Amino acid sequence: MPQQAIDDFNGLTDIQAAHALFGICASPAWARQVAAGRPYADAAALFDNADRVLAQLPESEIDAALDGHPRIGARVAANSRSAGEQAAVQSAADELLDELAAGNRAYEDRFGHVYLVFASGRSARDLLDTLIVRLANDPATERSEMRSELAKINRLRLERLLAAGRES
């Protein structure tokens, strides 16, 4: 990542930075704390702090972050960012999408929140297979797995944010 991208991010006002970060992760606390960590020496420092902040968030903030994510395989993704990340799923056969929808319902019934997985570039079959495996997790293990997936999603979105800043 070129230094100019991180310099541009560091140069945002507090409100601009928090707003941009809230578009990445729907946890207000995460967005505020990552914004407050500026200035970052480089992208790696930003990514490290974003992961550290996420790891320390209380469960209520993780729940807020989950509210910003649509169901995997939803016929119409709730936002363009998620739609792009789930693009490979959208071309799946209706039968597979129906299986994914049923799996999502079973997952939500078991764990009480949306099935969150790093979906970028992954097929509907792969995501369904992962969902089936994760349904066997105990709640604590699954909560940890979900946080790990959220960190991967946030990282990808941070990379895209910095890349978009370079292009403007």
The CA-based dihedral angle spanning residues 61, 127, 76, 63, taken in that order and rounded to the nearest 10 degrees: -10
Which CATH number, 1.10.1040.10, 1.10.3330.10, 2.40.10.410, 3.30.420.40, labels domain 72-136?
1.10.3330.10
pTM for this one?
A: 0.89
Give the residue range(s) of CATH 1.10.3330.10 domains in the chain. 1-68+150-168, 72-136
- CATH fold of 1-68+150-168: UraD-like (1.10.3330)
One DSSP character per residue, 49-85 reads HHHHHHHH--HHHHHHHHTT-PPTT-SS-SSHHHHHH
**Cα angle vertex 37, ends 79, 28, to 5°?**
35
Give the span between the Cα atoms of 27 and 37, in whole angstroms. Answer: 16
Give the span between the Cα atoms of 28 and 22, in whole angstroms. Answer: 6
Give the span between the Cα atoms of 24 and 124, in whole angstroms. Answer: 23
Phi, psi of 77 (to 5 degrees): -65, 145
As given in the structure block, the two tokens for residue 166 are: 């370079």
Give the span between the Cα atoms of 117 and 122, in whole angstroms. Answer: 10
Helix orientation angle between 139-167 and 43-56, rounded to the nearest 10 degrees: 150
Max CA distance (Å), the chain: 48
Helix orientation angle between 43-56 and 3-10, rounded to the nearest 10 degrees: 50
Q: Spell out the per-residue pLDDT of the chain, length 168, in tens.
A: 678 999 999 999 999 999 999 999 999 999 999 999 999 999 999 999 999 999 999 999 999 999 888 888 875 444 555 555 666 677 788 899 999 999 999 999 999 999 999 999 899 999 999 999 999 999 999 999 999 999 999 999 999 999 987 554
